[in-house]
Structure 1
Amino acid sequence: MKVESIVLGSIGTNCYIVTNEETKECFAVDMAECPQEYVNYIKNNGLEMKALFLTHGHFDHIMGIDDFLKAFPVPVYAGEDELPVIEDDRLNVSSMYGPKYAFHGAQPVRDGQVIECAGIEVDVLQTPGHTVGGCCYYLPKEHRLFSGDTLFCASIGRTDLPTGSSSQLVRSVQEKIMTLPDDTKIYPGHMEETSVQFEKEHNPFI
């Protein structure tokens, strides 16, 4: 398995490509605006896109969905409690930062659900706090986690935007992420990669 990050959009969102190197099937995690570089990478490497997983509904993680789906008409997955955020330009805060945007059509996933995509097992971890229905996606065989804006390297996501809750966020990190194996590699929504062990030792918020 290979994980590639392409940084897109005005806030520098990590948009991931997770590839099964044996089959060249892949899936995406989050999609910021101006995804042409992302689309080109998929096509130039002969990959077959199977799905898009959304960690949460803030504008900088969803603004490129329409253009992405024009190139790859695949299912879009998001936490069941996050759909109202994705579908409302006020809750996804796109109206605060620029053009209003909302996406309708995401398929809801729930905490504990297991999805096989591109031959890779993806476990859904509901991690509310940054938003009401945010999710992390854990690959148990590979010990890889896509944390969105729930957890960053030595930090956590902000909670001052609509539907945010600092107490929920800390609880989500402690109960859902810090209980994973120490060698779990974490791919956040912004900035550099980290690991469960590093966060246990260096994150002042948990």
Structure 2
Amino acid sequence: MEIKKLIVGMVQTNCYIAINPGTKEAVVVDPGDEAGRIRSEVERLGVKAQAILLTHGHFDHVMAMEELRDGWGVPIYACEKEAEVLADPGKNLTGQFLGGGSALKADVLLSDQETASLAGYDFRLLHTPGHTGGSCCYYVESEKVLFSGDTLFQESYGRIDFPTGSGRQIAESIVKVLFALPDDTAVYPGHMGDTTIGDEKLYNPLASYIGRL
């Protein structure tokens, strides 16, 4: 898997293009804004988008999704427990941050541990509530890759003060779910730089909860 990162939108969200170099197919993760730029990059790379994956429903991760879906004719995937956040402008924050409100909807809702086979890879959804109630990560075991959204950051973690957020849940999601992955798993977060599970078990503030939850 080859991974291209684009930093998009007003809060510098990481949008990822996950590419299968053999088939020239790709999956776009968290198209937060700048649909034209994302589309141009996919064209420049010479790949064909197969799907869009959302780690959660906040505006800065979803605002390009409908334009790209309509243009490419591909499905949007999200966690089944995030449907409420996507549909509610007060919870997806489009009302608060964009001056208007958008009710959004994914085409395919996955449950915890369910796998979507896309572009020649198996993307396993890990339900990781805390930043939002339906936040998730996508784990590609064969590539040792995790797209962590706003759950796990480099030496940090996502905000818990938005609707449906929970400090207890994000700690449990990171310590019990994500820290159970192999240490050499590459982590691609929703903001800031890349990291690994091993590094986060050493340096993340929530590492102090290992063995205590």
Shift, 1:176, TM fit: 1.0
Opposite residue 56 of structure 2, the aligned amino acid is: H
Shift, 1:101, TM fit: 2.0
Runs of 4+ off more than 6 Å: none
Between the aligned partners of 1:72 and 1:112, the Cα distance in structure 2 is 27
Q: Deviations over 1:14-37 (max 9, x none)?
A: 000000000100101111122211
Q: Deviations over 1:31-86 (max 9, x none)?
A: 11222111001112221110001000001001111221232110100000101101
Identity %: 40
Opposite residue 37 of structure 2, the aligned amino acid is: E
Between the aligned partners of 2:5 and 2:102, the Cα distance in structure 1 is 24
Shift, 1:106, TM fit: 3.0
Please name the residue that 1:33 is paired with.
33
Shift, 1:100, TM fit: 1.9
More helix by share: 2
Please name the residue that 2:180 is paired with.
179
8 Å contact 1:148–1:188 — kept in the other structure? yes
Q: Which runs of 5 or more structure 2 residues have no equivalent in the other structure? A: 208-213
The SS at the match of 2:205 is: coil
Between the aligned partners of 1:106 and 1:166, the Cα distance in structure 2 is 29
Shift, 1:205, TM fit: 2.2
Q: Which runs of 5 or more structure 1 residues have no equivalent in the other structure? A: none
The SS at the match of 1:192 is: coil
Query: For the aligned residues, what is the CA RMSD?
Result: 0.9
Compute the TM-score of the two structures, normalised by the length of structure 2: 0.94
Opposite residue 175 of structure 2, the aligned amino acid is: Q
The SS at the match of 2:22 is: coil
Shift, 1:186, TM fit: 0.1
8 Å contact 2:69–2:76 — kept in the other structure? no
